[in-house]
Structure 1
Amino acid sequence: MSFKSLGLSEPLLKAISKKGHTTPSPIQEKAIPFILEGRDILASAQTGTGKTAGFTLPMLQILSEGENLRKRPVRALVLTPTRELAAQVLEDVKDYSTFLDLKSHVIFGGVNSAPQIRALRQGVDILVATPGRLLDLHQQKAFTLSNIEILVLDEADRMLDMGFLRDIKKILALMPEKRQNLLFSATFSKDIKQLANTFLTKPVLVEATPENTTAEKVDQKVYRTNKSKKTALITKLISDGNWEQVLVFTRTKHGANRLSEKLEKTGITSAAIHGNKSQGARTKALDGFKKGRVRVLVATDIAARGLDIPLLPHVINYELPNIPEDYVHRIGRTGRAGASGEAISLVSVDENEYVRGIEKLLGETLEKEVMSGFEPTESLDEVLERKAENKANNRPRRNNNNNKSKSGSNYGRRRN
């Protein structure tokens, strides 16, 4: 099947050709005709399936065929959970609308809002946004949502995971009831179905998985070791393998910073990306990683969600996630577009339960190895005992002197 057979216009076909695409992916093949018909869509599609073009292309065609309003009010809204995903969606929108008279813009937090407000007031046809900044600028009357014709909720499951449900409901209330709604989610949880029932009208169910399953396209491996040996092991793997582009996952923001700093000290260029980093720092780190200036990008799950890094060869789980589905999202960063990839997990004895949960979800047993010099020597009891000691040592001590009032009273001091 060709893109032309899907009913797309010549300007869009020209833009698709310019990007080097020749045949539509399964999600594009299934979703585009229904969206062009004006139907609401409930789509199950993971990152790497081509879902962004699946909603962007028909959305652009519908808008280009509609009335061209002089002041360009926002007519299409794409909501995303993260800043990085929002920026990448805008990039696709701009690429595909190269030969169309449509203006698009992105708004998200962590950066100065003044340029965003100026762009909105100059007129925007398509707006890509994260929920928080959208509500903030709408409250400042920078734009109106009263002319919305198409709403896209992208990665809706992650938006709910991040606590955006209340914001989404507020945003829905700001738009006209008569509009086309497109909801894309990697999973159809009970909460997603409940949300879909509140605003989708007779939706078409579209399901598409990547061309290869995770197991087929990604070589998965587990190295058992001590927690204290993980940094040395990851350094050896990267150095000995001469790996040039590695995405590493940690469970916490502090852990991402600490590991990135340790890798830098060994001569491996590295950058951390997580929610506490400024948007400028996150953009710089991602750009450096894509262009090869940074060999290792250390990320938390939320920060890495939606990152579009083509042909990424290596993913390392420095720490396993406690939610098995997050493991699938993590290793789905590699082995994309038909390319092979490698996913390595460094597992200490206290993470064995996480491994069992992942294997149950995948329906397969992960290959486990021990590297010479990095053998696991700790028991679970030893690890748990050390954790308890560290927690006790890091607990802030109460300073009664700081709790005294200015009058010198013993307010806040424990009474005997």
Structure 2
Amino acid sequence: MSFDSLGLHEALTRAVADAGYDNATDVQQRAIPPALAGRDLMVSASTGSGKTASFILPALQRVLAARGDNSKRREAGEGPGRDRARGVVHGPRILVLAPTRELAMQVAKAATVYGRHVQGLRVATVVGGVPYPAQIKALRGPLDILIATPGRLLDHLQTGKAVLEHVEMLVLDEADRMLDMGFIDDITTIADHVPAARQTVMYSATFAGNVGALARNMLRDPQRVDVASHTDTHVNIEQRLHWADNHHHKNALLDHILTERDLEQAVIFTSTQRDADWLADRLAELGHAVASLHGGMPQGRRNRVLQGLRNRHLRVLVATDVAARGIDVPTISHVINYGLPMKAEDYVHRIGRTGRAGRNGLAVTLAERMDVGMIRRIQHFTTQDIPVATVAGLEPKTPAPRVFAGAPAARNERAGFGAGARRFGGPAKKPGPRGAHGGAKPSGARRASPFAR
């Protein structure tokens, strides 16, 4: 379905075409029309499905409609003033809440890209790790769209710097993650300061438990849009599980993977900030163009690291779960789970960093015996087994644990799990240079990046 058939303003369809998109994704086809009609929505969509555009485009349409209405009032002599005649109110007309700074910045970028033909569009971000004065200045003037993390916005709300009385549309992006991070009280407080007559759109991987309760309290007769779930297969992401005997063996496996010739850029996930810094230092000493990214870093440095990744000055990024939310770089060919996530659902978000924009990706998990419980929970959560693979010359000396809690099709192949690897959710394929994880010669040491610690 083309964007022209969704009922969007010509300025928006032109911006979408300028960005190189012709047809709407499934979530965009199903969420945009009811959002344009003013319906409250509960949306579940997988990472990389185009969900950001599915709420930003209706939000921009609201801005355009308001400006058109106010221009007519001004021509009729009914307008209250120049700003309102232009459809601009003090405080945001659209409020988007996001769990992390990186995701908030990604949403802000999308608003700017799709709103490029909206004259005088005013977009601001309010996130932690950034000095207060610039944010206060942005909040003081007229705003169209405000994208914020709950904690920092609540700070401004409590000091009277944030005005939310003109919000017409409230978007909660990755609501489940915000609740996991302890933002439920902040969200409800913010919602209490937003007009009750607003439109509310909530995006979440699941609407069970507390997320469902929050949706019932905040949304009015919502329409459910369920495009994808954590049990869906990702046919363009190949998964592998390598069992390591110990920490040294795991490092050797990682070093081998990073020498593969088809590795464009890799994101390596660690469990803690300390591990991220330590591993980035270790890889920098080996000559990799690498940097770490985690919540304990100043926002300015985090922005520089992300820009280095997008500009391909970095080949390897070592990150924690929270810091990596919202990273959308199509050239990330590999995701490596060096440290396993704390929650099974974070595994799905991690591997979604690769295989984007129609490309193929590889997701590798390096696990020790102490990780058996989490591997089992991940496979139970996704209902799919992660194919086990080995590297020639780096085979584990101890037998691999038998952890099968996923798809029935995978259980039928238990006897055959070994060196071969299957494409995640796809047909078996012959191992090639990447398929065997062996035979790839080291590509030589890379000069340390200026982003390296």
Range into which the TM-score falls when normalised by the shorter chain: 0.7 to 0.9
Paired position in structure 1 for 2:6: 6
- Unpaired runs of 5+ in structure 2? 71-82, 401-453
**Could you tell me how far 1:107 is from its partner in structure 2?**
1.1
Supply the distance in 2 between the matched residues of 1:46 and 1:221 (Cα, whole angstroms). Answer: 20
Other structure's SS at 1:367 match: coil
Other structure's SS at 2:178 match: helix
Q: Which amino acid aligns with 1:228?
A: H
Paired position in structure 1 for 2:346: 326
Choose from 122, 125, 142 the match for 1:123. 142
Supply the distance in 2 between the matched residues of 1:347 and 1:52 (Cα, whole angstroms). Answer: 33
Bigger shift: residues 276-285 or 75-84: 276-285
List per-residue Cα deviations over 1:372-398 (Å, max 9, x = no partner). Answer: 443434799xxxxxxxxxxxxxxxxxx
TM-score of the aligned structures, taking structure 2 as reference length: 0.80
Structure-to-structure mapping, 1:290-305, within 5 angstroms: 290-305=310-325
List per-residue Cα deviations over 1:233-281 (Å, max 9, x = no partner). Answer: 2122112436230000111111111100000000011111111111111
Choose from 87, 97, 100 the match for 1:79. 97
Paired position in structure 1 for 2:447: none
Bigger shift: residues 272-281 or 117-126: 117-126
TM-score of the aligned structures, taking structure 1 as reference length: 0.87
Structure-to-structure mapping, 1:57-72, within 5 angstroms: 57-66=57-66, 67-68=69-70, 69-70=83-84, 72=89
Structure-to-structure mapping, 1:186-197, within 5 angstroms: 186-197=205-216
Structure-to-structure mapping, 1:144-155, within 5 angstroms: 144-155=163-174
Choose from 116, 137, 140 the match for 1:98. 116
More helix by share: 1
Bigger shift: residues 168-177 or 118-127: 118-127
Choose from 243, 250, 267 the match for 1:247. 267
List per-residue Cα deviations over 1:307-362 (Å, max 9, x = no partner). Answer: 22224210001122242221111111111233211011111121122222222233
Contact 1:348/1:376 (<8 A) preserved: no
> CA separation of 1:206/1:108 partners in 2, compared to 1, >3 Å: closer, same or farther?
same
Other structure's SS at 2:89 match: coil
Choose from 310, 315, 335 the match for 2:330. 310
Choose from 262, 265, 271 the match for 2:285. 265
Supply the distance in 1 between the matched residues of 2:377 and 2:122 (Cα, whole angstroms). Answer: 46
Contact 2:330/2:355 (<8 A) preserved: no
Paired position in structure 2 for 1:346: 366
Contact 2:139/2:163 (<8 A) preserved: no
Bigger shift: residues 149-158 or 62-71: 62-71
> CA separation of 1:240/1:153 partners in 2, compared to 1, >3 Å: closer, same or farther?
closer
Supply the distance in 2 between the matched residues of 1:364 and 1:117 (Cα, whole angstroms). Answer: 48
Paired position in structure 1 for 2:191: 172
Q: Which amino acid aligns with 2:89?
A: R
Choose from 249, 256, 260 the match for 1:229. 249
Contact 1:311/1:337 (<8 A) preserved: no
Other structure's SS at 1:182 match: strand
> CA separation of 1:125/1:364 partners in 2, compared to 1, >3 Å: closer, same or farther?
closer
> CA separation of 1:296/1:143 partners in 2, compared to 1, >3 Å: closer, same or farther?
same
Other structure's SS at 2:147 match: strand
Across the aligned residues of Structure 1 and Structure 2, the Cα RMSD in angstroms comes to: 1.9
**Could you tell me how far 1:284 is from its partner in structure 2?**
1.0
Other structure's SS at 2:345 match: helix
Q: How many residues align?
A: 379
Paired position in structure 2 for 1:140: 159
Other structure's SS at 1:216 match: coil
Structure-to-structure mapping, 1:263-412, within 5 angstroms: 263-377=283-397
> CA separation of 1:3/1:27 partners in 2, compared to 1, >3 Å: closer, same or farther?
same
Paired position in structure 1 for 2:49: 49
**Could you tell me how far 1:292 is from its partner in structure 2?**
1.0
Supply the distance in 1 between the matched residues of 2:150 and 2:382 (Cα, whole angstroms). Answer: 32
Choose from 149, 152, 156 the match for 2:175. 156
> CA separation of 1:6/1:265 partners in 2, compared to 1, >3 Å: closer, same or farther?
same
Q: Which amino acid aligns with 2:122?
A: K
Contact 2:269/2:318 (<8 A) preserved: yes
Contact 1:77/1:152 (<8 A) preserved: yes
Other structure's SS at 1:239 match: coil
Other structure's SS at 2:235 match: helix
Supply the distance in 2 between the matched residues of 1:284 and 1:142 (Cα, whole angstroms). Answer: 28
Supply the distance in 2 between the matched residues of 1:141 and 1:179 (Cα, whole angstroms). Answer: 21
Supply the distance in 2 between the matched residues of 1:220 and 1:321 (Cα, whole angstroms). Answer: 16
Choose from 101, 107, 114 the match for 1:89. 107
Other structure's SS at 1:277 match: coil
Provide the identity percentage. 43
Supply the distance in 1 between the matched residues of 2:314 and 2:58 (Cα, whole angstroms). Answer: 36
Contact 1:81/1:159 (<8 A) preserved: yes
Supply the distance in 1 between the matched residues of 2:11 and 2:4 (Cα, whole angstroms). Answer: 11
Other structure's SS at 1:191 match: helix
**Could you tell me how far 1:204 is from its partner in structure 2?**
0.5
